[in-house]
Amino acid sequence: MLGDVVRQINLCQLDGVAVTVDGEPILVDGQGWVVEVRMYSLRNYSGPVAHLVLPADADAAAAHVADVLRGLREPGAAAAALDRPLAETFGLPEAVFDENLFDPTPEDVQRRTAALAAMSDRFPAVAERFSRVYGLRLPRHLAVFAAFWDSLDRRERDAIGDVAGLHPWGVSDYFKTDGLALVGRDGLDERLHCRFRRDPAEFVTVLGGDSDGLHFGLWYDDPAQLPSFIAHNWARDSAETWTSGRPTLLGEISAWLEKSLDDSYGEEGDKRWRLHPLRRALDWFAEADAEALRADGERVWADAPRAQDTVSIGAALPPGSGDPRGGEHRARFDAYRGDHAAVRGWIGQARAELAAGEPAFALALGTELHWLDADEFRQEALELQVGAYRALGRGALADIAEVHFAHRDLRTVDVLVAG
């Protein structure tokens, strides 16, 4: 097996020099099995990087690599090799990158078409479950994402997990083979699944990231409408919630992939070989993603004006909702650090405006206090948010806020388990 060749290289011990393979071999049409090999000094970590083509026969590849490594163990051989191209050191051809090498094969098309049909068939039941549990509308583009993920082959799955650092999570779990049989562990409400303690009620997780609690979610301004766009949040960092305004999850993944590609050059090697198959898979699903958007119709709040906010996406509100006082948000955050009298004054003003039928400031202030997560204002944060959501006719968001308030101290946000 070619995997044994990789392990043989990675386990090799050389005098002051390391030689490693990044990831598993990639089968590239027209070239063969390609591996990214790096040799570097253990003193300054500098050295050559190359994508080499292994012999097609695994036994021949193993014998050839073993012979090369045997030679590198000779005194001074490994150090001298640091100044030579790896293709010369290993006696193997260097692969030549071309985007067309990753055009879909008939097997790719068959696999993706079948996955798209399966997830399209699964969508109505998942949408019904989501509506029943959350009181929200599920967009069709989530079924396209589920099909994309289900169709990934080994090299594509390796790229999106190990290199891009993304994985389905949250509501996307309903699309798994037995996803609709999942239940909340220990009797917990399913709406708590993948809901971190500072997540706003509008945020519903659908994708996980690779660091600092990064997660992506559908953003619901109004439960009666489709989500406005995809949002993201680093829960174990400062936990603000932001958006780039992209309407679909595959669009968001494409943008993160492009960033990974931009960051993929230099001393750590060229990651295009691992990431480009994933890019072509995303390209294949692009039309289905666009069709899902067309089928769902208008995203009413996507382009609505929003008040400035320090910790989250500003609320999109109907006319007559009052003034959210977005221009004062920085002054409020200064006061949250110690001027509790000022905060109590704002809470009183927000309550008065809410009682008068203007919930904008109550929602803005409640959102900020929810993020602040301070014991002194935790109850007021809930009161202001729930009151504002209900005044706006956004009862499903009020319900999410209430169940979240009751369970913000869970040790883990993984709530759905096999029933």
Least confident range of 32-46, 116-130, 203-217, 350-364: 32-46
Q: What is the pLDDT of residue 419?
A: 87
Percentage of residues in the chain with pLDDT exceeding 70?
97
Q: What is the pLDDT of residue 121?
A: 98
- Report which of 287, 332, 334, 342 is spatially closest to residue 307, judged by C-alpha positions: 332
Q: Quick one: average pLDDT of 97-118?
A: 93
304: tokens are: 């609505």
The vertex-120 CA angle with 119 and 122, nearest 5°, equals: 60
Per-domain boundaries in the chain: 2-96, 101-296, 326-418
Cα distance between residue 239 and residue 45, in whole Å: 35
- Report which of 228, 230, 249, 219 is spatially closest to residue 144, judged by C-alpha positions: 249
Q: What is the pLDDT of residue 8?
A: 77
Least confident range of 163-177, 271-285, 381-395: 271-285
366: tokens are: 């409640």
Q: What is the pLDDT of residue 266?
A: 46
96: tokens are: 């030549």
Residue 209 pLDDT exceeds 80: yes
Extended strands (E) in 227-303: 229-234, 241-243
Q: Pick 45 or 221 by higher pLDDT.
A: 221
5: tokens are: 């060749």
* pLDDT single digits (tens) 223-278: 999 999 999 999 999 999 999 999 999 999 999 888 777 665 444 456 788 888 89
Percentage of residues in the chain with pLDDT exceeding 90?
74
Q: What is the pLDDT of residue 263?
A: 64
